[in-house]
A and B are shown apart, each in its own frame.
Chain A
């Protein structure tokens, strides 16, 4: 087991190295440079000023030199300074946004699993009934409806017409003077729409998956046996069937880990939530290479770790993998 682990972890290093090389090359292939994006078509900026700014960012050096410089800093876990005019350390920019994106995604994930699993079970147990069909229509409606459109409609209804919920952002003005409970209530009200809509949109995949694994399990002989020995339907479904049906779903949960730090640009833009999605999008549009690289490296690292964890879990469950005889 330890040998297997060591091998897997050592494998990560060249993999990560390769990922950075490719992403670095790809973002530099995109037309335009940070200096162009900031100064093009501005009559006040001379060619000389532009050259000076390129030197400031080190863009005048050959690409491989830039890569080695970046890699050297990376080895010391220094993400460098942003190429945006604020010139702040990339780490600061990411750190101030990760908590927002992470907590939003965790809440949405909990809601998604908390709702999709019962919905899937219900649909499986009552398959081919009106309820099953109703659920199917409902979850696919969420899946098919453009979220930005739904978001705008609900904002108009709840925010402008009824005035029940705030429209955008995370806090009301002056919320910093509220007590902790009122402050939390204010935050919760701001989160209802974004989290609700995100969850609605993602129910389809998971609940359908849950339904099909559940259906498969219900057809198994041991479920028939359980029913035959006179257990109540409730015990049959929740104790015997569900446990077995949940296993693949838990694997899915493992795979969604790296997604937790990635935000959705459209979503964050509509709700004015300062998350990772917006940061990354702006970074790409401004050709802010260090920022884009920083976010990609973190994302790649988490993906690799997520895969590693999934593999470890498999190997614990399946001795064939553990012993390299798969």
Chain B
């Protein structure tokens, strides 16, 4: 249930086609399941492996907190079903002609859950507390680009920047906090972190530590009262247990694994009770090379490695086909994604030829390529607890052996992985994943200024043209110009191959069939949660008494 309009981990464009042609997506209309009329009531129970930590979003860093907070708070803007920015607490906004200032016109008559009125003072407060040096937040960075903020009246808010900053708009999608409850208080000790007050479609109900968070629908929500009366976020740390809870009726919504999706949920009994959905998730998995390492300095070697790896085979083997080949850092189908990038397709003879050009011609007794007396061998590192990445590494190991490269695989616990390998630059290749944000800015991961210690361009990619294009792309609001920049960057990345981009996995949620009104879109399924409903006859949780 990821209605994450917040600054982080957001859904990106997908193929509408893929989402809606799933075998179960359209059945709803055909089957007669009683009167199919929207009705208020019932409860949706979602399963999660992690417990939220803090329901004041700027203080939280985990996705569980953002999932729950997404129901309780609103930002000024949000992403709609097609992942275009649209108004949320702001009815509209104007960007000045020079691109330096953004003026938000706020909705009138919006009430906080405690009845107080929402005004520009709340937005001012949210901005100030986020950049306050005393606030231990991880998300001050995009607000720090702001030169000046002002609130000319209660329903207008303006932010001015030193230079045009395209990702700025998205940053105003972060949750607006209630100034009347927080101003002048220490936010880190505020009771709101366990009992939040927002403006969103659901009000906070109850939090039983380690067990569940219960939200009640906000009847006065400015976009209309949600049909589903109550939402329960149930914490079940083990995924096998979660799956059994789903089958026994204790859960209504959870993510499936590819195996569950493909092999364990096709019985008539299951499909009668549940609907499965499938659309590309907003992440990609890659094999990244340490570009400072002598082995990978030669572009031809990196190109050869990509040509030697069969990405389709990895998707079949690891995800049972529930994913797409990645050619670059964007999700297929989004506006920044370039459809025809000249990537290196699987072609072992081309790989051998490229390696020979780079000087790897001779082989030793075990069949490994040798240059200057040294065999071509390296270690792929990946983090513990991610079976998919380990499997991908094993398939890659096999394919690279075919062209004469010997790969070792090492799985390391996350903290050691970071402190001993990534931070020190003491690695050869890694398999990791990135989240794809709806805003296509690539500054943090690909700009050459981000190659320092503990920064995210840890592979050490430096390309003057890419730097310029990234800077151009983030300083204009014109989507066509931005698209040109990002198209060109994808061509360069496909030629340089600093990563072998592996795959974009699919998100595979399953929802109890009694919930109607779900319309898969590029943004996933949860963007219209307030319009989901259960017809009266099918409601399971009848009591809706308020606690």
Contact = CB atoms under 8 A, between A and B. Distances in A.
Interface of A: 30-32, 36-50, 52-53, 56-57, 84-88, 93, 96-97, 152, 155-156, 159-160, 163, 166-171, 173-174, 176-177, 268-275, 278-279, 287
Given A85-B53, A87-B188, A176-B547, A32 B138 contact: no
A32 B43 CA distance: 40
Interface in B175-197: 188-189, 193-194
B53 A84 contact: yes
B303 to A, nearest CB: 26
A167 B420 CA distance: 41
Interface stretch (B59-67, B110-118, B289-297): B59-67
Interface in B393-413: 413
Contacts of A278: 210, 237
29 contacts: A30-B415, A38-B62, A42-B61, A43-B437, A45-B141, A49-B139, A85-B54, A85-B60, A86-B53, A87-B188, A87-B193, A88-B194, A166-B250, A167-B250, A168-B236, A168-B244, A170-B211, A173-B45, A173-B541, A174-B543, A269-B237, A270-B238, A270-B240, A272-B241, A273-B210, A274-B210, A275-B210, A278-B210, A278-B237
Given A44-B138, A49-B141, A85-B65, 16 more contacts: A31-B413, A31-B420, A43-B456, A44-B444, A45-B138, A46-B140, A56-B136, A84-B54, A85-B61, A86-B59, A87-B59, A160-B247, A160-B248, A167-B241, A173-B45, A272-B237
A271 B43 CA distance: 22
A320 B138 CA distance: 63
A112 to B, nearest CB: 24
A44 B237 contact: no
B229 to A, nearest CB: 12
A32 B236 contact: no
B244 A49 contact: no
Contacts of A30: 415
Interface of B: 7-8, 43, 45, 53-54, 59-62, 65, 133, 136-142, 144, 188-189, 193-194, 209-211, 232, 234-238, 240-241, 244-245, 247-248, 250, 413-416, 418-420, 432, 437, 444-445, 452, 454-456, 541, 543, 545, 547
| Main SS at interface, chain A | loop
B543 A272 contact: no
Contacts of A47: 452, 454-455
Nearest to B7: A44
B138 A155 contact: no
Given A97-B210, A167-B244, A169-B234, A44 B60 contact: no
A169 B419 contact: no
A167 B416 CA distance: 36
A157 to B, nearest CB: 10
A84 B141 CA distance: 21
Contact of B61 (A38, A155, A171): A38
Contacts of A168: 236, 238, 241, 244-245, 250
A97 B208 CA distance: 11
B340 to A, nearest CB: 27
Contact of B419 (A32, A52, A268, A279): A32
Nearest to A156: B244
B137 A49 contact: yes
A155 B209 contact: no
Contact of A272 (B142, B144, B209, B236): B236
Contacts of A268: 237
Nearest to A166: B250
A245 B499 CA distance: 69
Most buried by B among A42, A57, A86, A273: A86
